[in-house]
Amino acid sequence: MYSKYFDEYIDRVKSFGASSQAMLADTDIKLCIENTGIYDMDYVRKAVDALLGFDNIYLTWDIGHDRSSEYKDIKYIMENIDKLGHMHFHDALDKRDHLPLFEGDIDIVERIKIAEEYGCCCVIETKTVDGLSKSVERLVSRNLK
């Protein structure tokens, strides 16, 4: 479908980007596109490429989604790292994500360094209060804030 109607699709994507830029021009608001394990799809990359050309549009890197999709998104994110504006932090193991930090196999410390380097705002995205509490306690005990 996307290849058959690609020109119309990309025109609408660009129109959305232009509209959002016009609406947010005099604000500090960043519109961030979250990865969901689909940056290996050509039409998705082309659409996101078009959107990242606008001043107010950035990437959100959900590190758990990236892991649970077997890192399908990391290459694209690294190629566009200067447009990284936000990160979602949760751990993952195989297809299970939204785990408390340090319960999966993601290198959380390395991801925190990337967030710091690129000035990203971040959210700890666990699904329970207990998961959030454990994550915060573990960050504090490692002196990672």
Query: Taking residues 48-69, what's their average pLDDT?
Result: 96
Distance CA 123, CA 121 (A): 7
Distance CA 126, CA 104 (A): 12
pLDDT for the residue numbered 14: 97
Residue 22: phi, psi to the nearest 5? -65, -40
Position 40 pLDDT exceeds 70: yes
Domains annotated on the chain, with CATH? 6-141 (3.20.20.150)
Amino acid at position 122, single letter: C
Query: Taking residues 77-99, what's their average pLDDT?
Result: 95
Per the listing, tokens 């979602």 go with 88
Q: Are 100 and 90 in contact (CB under 8 A)?
A: yes
Position 41 pLDDT exceeds 80: yes
